[in-house]
Structure 1
Amino acid sequence: MIIRSPFPDIDIPDVTLTELLFGAAPSDAPALIDPDGDVTTRRRLDDRVRRIAAGLHARGIGQGCVVGLFAPNSPGWVAAFHGILRANAIVTSANVLYTADELAHQLSDSRARLLVTTAGLLDVATAAAEKAGIEEILTLDHAPGHLRIDSLPGAAPPPLLAGPGDVAVLPYSSGTTGRAKGVVLTHRNLVANVLQFSRMGRTSADTVLLAVLPLFHIYGMTVLMNHALHQRVPLVTMPRFDLAGMLRLIERHRVTKLYIAPPTALLLAKSPLVDEADLSSVELVFSGAAPLDGELARAVARRLGCSIRQGYGMTEMSPVSHAIPQDRPDIDPASVGFALPNVECRLVDPVTGHDAGRGELWVRGPNVMSGYLDNPVATAATLDAEGWLRTGDIATVTADGVFSIVDRVKELIKYKGYQVPPAELEALLLAHGDIDDAAVVGVLDEEGEEVPKAFVVRRPGARLDAAEVMAYVAGRVAPHKKVRRVEFLDAIPKSASGKILRATLRAAGQR
């Protein structure tokens, strides 16, 4: 049975993201505010975007070209992102915690022509660019020997040649399993999701948003950056998360809406620093990227004296498909709310393949990706011929259309909102000379956070201990992918077909 959004469909204009966000005449209203209080007006941002587009165009960057963006949140990040799109090119945004090898994989796989970074990340960026065969690195700030992206010579931005159906961004996601893959999101996908989410995330003349979330992540990219630009409300940028800094910025700029992931909700509920801060301006906290416990949600709402809402999505959906509307305080904050306008859903029994009252959530809509880059096998495993995206999450739905995520089919681990693909860590562990076999699953720690746990079979005679295993992995992956727990086994439990019995390991791992 197809379950449609209770909200009427919205008209999605046949325009690019550039046209949607920068089509109107610029004004002197604030668009971006950096941590020091420097204000970038809409006019200044528009000028910077056009200057970057002109410089890239003069360098031969245009339609079909991919540019890597590897930098922390800043007004410069926003200008670079939209300058690349204004040059008719494609952005592949990378996690600033990536190692050189991880970044090189993304740059090579996406066939990036240029890399944009900051002085503080040049060591990793340079090593990755060399591995990926990229000859030029541009920067957002001053770095000796490198040109700033906004100071490239160029006469004028090129004509807008990209169309709504052209690729706009290539974020990388592990999807339901495996190594990170390029998610092909078009201008239409992003335009649709900005407009769809606007029904749930209403703004006013007093709205101020804070970019706590990284803008390289599709959640921050759509729900913070592009949503703020579309709604013409100021966005305060944070280069990296720290609770004390976040609280100071909320106080200073009277932030009204906080878009966060569950680990930040836990800090807001428990940290003594919150008692010392004036958070009276906060009207709404919205959580996404991983499941938020209902009791934790209510604790945050009580402590801050604000409303709290939750949403659901994934990179492959640009990313939001479900959310609790701001004007529905009656909805349980442990749920993920309603399907967004223009979104259709099914709940499918993963065993029988039939529609069910409790089943894998399938989603179809204009925000759903066109596929994984150069990976038809992974695309076919996730998208069917009728456009249904298999999310890998088990959901239920009420008679009123309120969805709740209750379990997971997929193997992907969500650590503090970041994706950790078990297969990548397992491949790394199996490369260790003292490890015969390994499996990685997500287990809950003392605070209810999902963390990667490795089950390891030692090579006969090896004296490998847990600390050595964790150190080995930590030296080769981004911090969010580190193995946090280790247990040694005589054998990894597997099915007759050789598949790891992850449910068995998860159950054992929690004991």
Structure 2
Amino acid sequence: MLKITNFTNKTLKHATKGVLCVSLKKKHVWTSDNIVKSPFQDVVIPNVTVAEYVWRNLDKWPTKTAMICSVTNRQYTYEEIYKQSQVLGANLRKKFKIDNGDAVAIMLPNLPEYLTAVIGILNAGGLVTTLNPNYSAHEVQRQVSMSDTKLIFVTPEVVSTVKKALVLCKRDIPIVEVNFNGDLQEGTISFKELVEDKYVDLNILKEVKRSAEDVAFLPYSSGTTGLPKGVELTNRNIIANAEQQNKDFRFYAYTTDSHQDNLLVCLPMFHSYGLSILAVHKFSVGLKLVTLPKFHPETFVRALSKYNFNLLYLAPPIVIFLGTHPQVVSKYFEHLRCVACGAAPLPMADIERFLSKVPDNVHFSQAYGLTETGPLATAYPIGHKNYKKVGFALPNIELRVIDGNFNNVGPNKVGELLIKGPNVMKGYKENPEANKQVFVDDVWLKTGDLAEIDEFGAVTIADRLKELIKVNAFQVPPAELECVCKEHPAVYDVAVVGIPDAKSGQRPKAFIVLKENIKVSDIEILEFVAERVAPYKRIKEISFIEAIPKNPSGKILRRVLLEKYC
């Protein structure tokens, strides 16, 4: 059994120099029926809501900076966000009638106001559903309708898109505009006025009735078939995943009067990775969160040069950028201690290029998780330098690897990975058929990924069982693009696959069968799809073929397309 001693800030700083005690004991993590237990002691999960959890230690760091924009320097202390989120919650409940369990949408880039909106919604009794600011009106319309959104937070840049989406779904909901640089657009409400209201009665918050088992977050995750599904993450799911990172997997140093770790929040908070791991969890332990509104080389490098970052949570494209960009130099990483990379596998060559720029004692590891697991499921604690595996199951988590007949297989055997734990989602919103397909025995989540687990419990992701295309670590479901393509009047049949791309990892390619006696250019279809999806989902290449290869049950044989045409 692997054991890591609890440590102070001092031992954390020097952990990879040998101060931290790391040892592998012989106790087996595998049970007799081939279930893998986490090699770490279970953690206790507080029976509270996320809105209560994040403020448990407010008295330890009230005046420390909580959120700061790396571009504008706009910033808030912990006690300022506490007060603003309380006022916002009261206003949402009083002025807009947000009730217990109502969905409220956030369509914002990474701004220092993001968590104020999140906690304010939770304070009001609502649940948070997040949208990518790059979504088209069609995508916004779909999620607003599916989640039954009652109100939406936006920036000025997306107001017109949201208004168009509300027309499409025949809804009239309040639009709250986060705007600090000009007049409000017609038909929107000032975020600033809602959080700075001195006259709202906070007693209305006493009406809120939410428990640990209630849904807190409702992100939408792209499945392997059909359209994105609402992932119901309860307060307990989110808090469990936070607590799982507070002991053996603690990468941060404790916040004290004299020390506060800096964390770059460059991964989007509309994604569960950015929202849960980078924002909510690190906020709950008092770190300084430095936000980057969007990835741009110049502003990214400027942020690295300005702040002494101690932690970096990254996706593969950013690791590649850091390792190859000439303006990213070693002196920017002098205070760096821990780096975790998730969302997609990262080749060793890219890891080595990045590590050549950072101090030898920096802990680097790949991690694994899903939106449906809150999201973190496996990682390596400090002291391990195995860059090809994605680590051990977090505390309270159990794993299985199954064959095609749902039989558990033993160590070093490849099969589909299943996960059970308190961080696993409640289920997909109002989608019993999808829940039936994704859960085994109602508790084991099928990940759709092929994996193998060694005798010590370390996990290797062997291949992707899913057919999702990964573009810059964003999930692009082929089925969604196929549905959009089929809306074009000239398209008879279509299949979309991911093909290798040096810059983005993969890019979507469509194979299209046209209707008889109809001609259309590939450019016309590319533009048709581009108008209806976010930029990262856009099809980059089209081939016209006579028929889509399928198996007897009608399932597209994507591998045949890849082998024959790519």
Residue 131 of structure 1 is matched in structure 2 by 168
Aligned to 1:141: 179
**In angstroms, what is the RMSD of aligned CA positions?**
1.8
Query: 1:56 aligned to 2:56?
Result: no
* Residues 1:260 and 2:314 are matched in the alignment: yes
Distance 2:239 2:519 in 1: 55
Identity of aligned residues (%): 35
Cα distance 1:470–1:88, how it changes in 2: closer, same or farther (>3 A)?
A: same
Superposition pairs of residues 41-190 of structure 1, within 5 angstroms: 41-59=77-95, 60-132=97-169, 133-142=171-180, 143-145=184-186, 146-152=188-194, 154-156=200-202, 158-159=205-206, 160-190=208-238
Match of 2:67 in 1: 32
Match of 2:348 among 294, 301, 315: 294
SS across alignment from 1:215: coil
Native 8 Å contact 2:401 2:414 kept in 1: yes
Q: How far did 1:96 drift?
A: 0.8
2:474 is matched with 418
Aligned residues of 1:55 and 1:151 also touching (Cα < 8 A)? no
For 1:365, the equivalent position in structure 2 comes to: 421
Instruction: Name the amino acid aligned to 2:390.
Output: V
Change in Cα spacing, 1:10 to 1:421, as seen in structure 2 (3 Å) is same
The AA in structure 2 aligned to 1:210 is L
Conservation of the 8 A alpha-carbon contact between 1:451 and 1:484: yes
Q: Residues 251 and 311 of structure 2 are in contact (CA less than 8 Å); yes or no, is this contact kept in structure 1? A: no
Q: 2:537 aligns with which of 481, 492, 504?
A: 481
Partners of 2:193 and 2:504 lie apart in 1 by 47
Distance 1:99 1:148 in 2: 23
CA shift digits 1:240-263 (9 cap, x unpaired): 111221121122121121111111
Residue 21 of structure 1 aligns with which residue?
A: 54
Deviations 1:19-54 (A, max 9, x none): 110133441011111123233111111011111011
Cα contact 2:472–2:504 (8 A) shared by 1: no
- After superposition, the Cα gap between the structure-2 partners of 1:447 and 1:141, relative to the gap in structure 1 and judged at 3 Å, is closer
The reply on whether 1:341 has 2:378 as its aligned counterpart is no
CA 1:261–1:293 in structure 2 vs 1: closer, same or farther (change >3 Å)?
same
Instruction: Give the structure 2 partner of residue 354 of structure 1.
Output: 407
Measured against aligned partners, the alpha-carbon deviations of 1:373-407 in whole angstroms (never above 9, x if no partner) come to 11100111111234000000000111111111111
Shift of 1:413: 1.5
Deviation at 1:337, TM superposition (A): 0.7
Instruction: Give the Cα–Cα distance (whole angstroms) in 1 for the partners of residues 44 and 223 of structure 2.
Output: 29
Residues 359 and 395 in structure 1, CA contact (< 8 A), matched pair in contact too: yes
**Could you tell me how far apart the structure 2 residues matched to 1:441 and 1:180 are?**
17
Task: State how far apart, in whole Å, the 2-side matches of 1:392 and 1:333 are.
Answer: 22
Question: Which one is further off, 445-454 or 367-376?
Answer: 445-454
User: Distance between the aligned counterparts of 1:447 and 1:240, measured in 2?
Assistant: 17
Q: SS in structure 1 opposite 2:508?
A: strand
* Cα distance in 2 for residues equivalent to 1:428 and 1:269: 36
In structure 1, the partner of 2:367 is 311
Deviation at 1:468, TM superposition (A): 3.2
Q: Alpha-carbon deviations, 1:149-173, whole Å to 9, x = none?
A: 3523521150252110111011001
Distance in 2 (alpha carbons) for counterparts of 1:509 and 1:317: 36
Equivalent position amino acid for 1:355 in 2:
N
Cα shift at 1:211: 0.8
**What amino acid does structure 1 have at the position aligned with 2:251?**
R
Q: Deviation at 1:110?
A: 0.5
Rounded to whole Å, the distance in 2 between the matches of 1:316 and 1:165 is 15
Moved more, 353-362 or 440-449: 440-449
In the TM superposition, what is the alpha-carbon distance from 1:447 to its structure 2 partner?
5.1
TM-score computed with the length of structure 2 as normaliser: 0.86
Give SS of 2:332's match: coil
Instruction: Determine the C-alpha separation between the residues in 1 that align with 2:500 and 2:423.
Output: 32
Q: CA deviation at 1:68?
A: 0.9
1:467 partner amino acid: I
Question: 1:7·1:341 contact (CA, 8 Å) conserved in 2?
Answer: yes
Question: Structure 1 CA distance, aligned partners of 2:507 and 2:243?
Answer: 34
CA distance in 2, matches of 1:243, 1:111: 37
2:243 counterpart of 1:195: yes
Residue type matched to 1:329 in 2? H
Distance (Å, rounded) in 2 between the aligned partners of 1:312 and 1:509: 31
In the alignment, the residues of structure 2 paired with residue 125 and residue 253 of structure 1 have an alpha-carbon distance, to the nearest angstrom, of 35
Q: Report what 1:393 is aligned to.
A: 449
User: Of the two, which has the highest radius of gyration?
Assistant: 2
3-state SS, counterpart of residue 15 of structure 1: coil
TM-score in terms of structure 1 length? 0.95
Q: Which runs of 5+ in 1 are unaligned?
A: none
Letter matched to residue 159 of structure 2: L
Residue identity in the other structure for 1:44:
E
Q: What letter is aligned with 2:121? A: I
1:448 Cα offset (Å): 7.5
- The answer to whether the 8 A contact 1:415-1:450 is kept is yes
Cα distance in 1 for partners of 2:272, 2:414 equals 28
Q: CA deviation at 1:174?
A: 1.4
Contact 1:115-1:134 within 8 A present in 2 as well:
no
Question: Which structure 2 residues correspond to residues 200-215 of structure 1 after superposition, within 5 A?
Answer: 200-204=249-253, 205-215=259-269
Amino acid aligned to 2:384: P
Runs of at least 5 residues in structure 2 that lack an aligned partner in the other structure: 1-33, 254-258
* Aligned length, in residue pairs: 507
How many Å separate the matches in 2 of 1:144 and 1:443? 41
Aligned residue for 1:290, secondary structure, equals coil
Counterpart secondary structure, 1:480: helix
Q: What residue identity is the alignment partner of 1:301?
A: L
- Equivalent AA in structure 2 for residue 361 of structure 1: L
Q: Using the TM superposition, give the Cα deviation of residue 277 of structure 1 relative to its aligned residue in structure 2, in angstroms.
A: 6.8
1:281 matched residue in structure 2: 335
1-structure distance, mates of 2:302, 2:497: 37
Contact 1:51 1:150 in 2 (8 A): no
Distance 1:386 1:379 in 2: 8
When residues 410 and 490 of structure 1 are mapped into structure 2, their CA distance, relative to the original with a 3 A threshold, is same
